[in-house]
Amino acid sequence: MDSFSITPKTERARGPGFSFVIEPICALIPAGEFEMGSASGRDDEQPVHRVWVDSFEMAVFQVRNRDWAVFMEATAHPAPPFWNDSNFQDPDQPVVAVNWIEAAKYCEWLNALPPQSGLLGRRYRLPTEAEWELAARGGREGELYPWGNEAPEARPPYLERWGGAVSRPLPVGKSEPNPFGVFDLGENVHEWCADWYDKAYYARSPARNPRGPAMGTRRASRGGSWRHHIRVSRCAARSSIPPTFQYADYGFRVVRDVQSQDAPSFRD
C-alpha cells in the first residue's frame, strides 16, 4: 500500500433535501511527466509527446448505482435508461447510460453541497484525458494496459469480465488495483473525460496539464468496457461519442483537486 494513498474512510453526511451522501474514496495521483500516446496505436494516439500533469485525486471506483440513487433523490433527476433492467441493478455496479452532461451535473451537485455535508471545499470534476492516462499508467512507462502488458484474454477470469457472453458490468472493485490504488481502469465501463475530442489534438497539445480543445462535437472517453475490451482498454487508447448519448457500457468516475501541489512526484 506504500505506492499509493487512499482517503482513509468513506464519509457520510446529511444535508437538506437529500439522504446520505457517500463521499468518494480517492487515491492520490502524484504529479509527473509521462509519454502520452502510442507510436503503435491508432492515428489519434499520435504523435507520442511528453506531458506534465499536476497531482490530483481520483476516485478509486467508478460512480455506482448507490451513489447515483442519492443524486436522483436529492435533485429529482430522472433515472437513466436501463435503471430498472435486472442486469444493471446491483447497488455496487457502476451506473450506466449516464451521458456527459449528466456526469458533469453530478460533479456540480457534489460541489454545491452545503457546509454541513462535510464536502465543502473539495472540487469534484471529470478527469482530463491526460489525467486519466497518467492514472492508468500507474507510474509505469511504456506498458500497454493499466494492469501491465498481459492481454485481456490472458487475464482470469476473462469470460466473467469481457466477451460476447457478458451481459452486464461487474460490481466495482473486483479486479486488482493498479499501482496508484485505482480499480477497474480499462475495464467494466467506458469512462467520460472532461475534454472535447479532436483526433489531431496531440499535434498541438500543450506540454503541461492539457485540457483538450476549446470546442467540439464529441466528448472524449477512456477505457474498455464489458462490451468492448481489446480496442480501447489500452492506456493510450482514445474514444469519443456525442455528449448526449446514453449507452449501457458508459459510466464515469470523478476526480478532485488536491489542496496543495506539494504532493510528491511519482519520479521522486
Give the pLDDT of the chain (268 residues) as one tens digit per residue. 333 333 333 333 333 333 466 789 999 999 999 999 999 999 999 999 999 999 999 999 999 999 999 999 999 999 999 999 999 999 999 999 999 999 999 999 999 887 656 665 679 999 999 999 999 999 998 899 999 998 888 877 777 777 666 789 999 998 889 999 999 998 899 999 999 999 999 999 999 999 999 999 999 999 999 987 667 899 999 999 999 999 999 999 999 998 765 455 655 5
Question: Which residue range(s) make up the domain with 100?
Answer: 12-257
Per-residue confidence (pLDDT) for residue 159, from 0 to 100:
73
Question: What is residue 177's predicted lDDT score, i.e. its pLDDT?
Answer: 94
Under a CB-based contact definition with an 8 Å cutoff, are residues 187 and 223 in contact? yes
Cα–Cα distance between 98 and 249 in angstroms, integer?
Answer: 10
Looking at the DSSP assignment, which residues form a beta bridge with residue 21? 13
Within a domain: residue 25?
A: yes
What was the pLDDT predicted at 163?
Answer: 63
The answer as to whether 187 is a domain residue is yes
In a domain, 267, yes or no: no
CATH of the domain at 100: 3.90.1580.10
**What pLDDT does residue 230 have?**
67
Q: Please report the pLDDT score of residue 1 as a whole number.
A: 30
Report yes or no on 265 lying in a domain.
Answer: no
Asked if residue 177 belongs to a domain, the reply is: yes
Inter-CA distances, 27 with 48, 59, 214, 227, Å? 27, 6, 28, 27
pLDDT reported for residue 13: 36
From 58, 63, 97, select the one nearest 177 (Cα to Cα): 58
pLDDT value of residue 172: 96
Asked if the structure places residue 193 within a domain, the reply is yes
pLDDT for the residue 167: 85
**pLDDT for position 265:** 60
Q: Which stretch of DSSP H or E encloses residue 241?
A: strand 239-241
What's the whole-model pTM score?
Answer: 0.89
In this structure, are residues 94 and 247 in contact, taking their beta carbons and an 8 Å threshold? no
Q: What DSSP element (H or E) covers 35?
A: strand 32-36
Non-local (6+) Cβ contacts of 38 within 8 A are 45, 46, 48, 234, 235, 236, 237
Measured distance CA(159)–CA(148) in Å, rounded: 19
Domain count, the chain: 1
Pull the grid cell for residue 214: 476549446
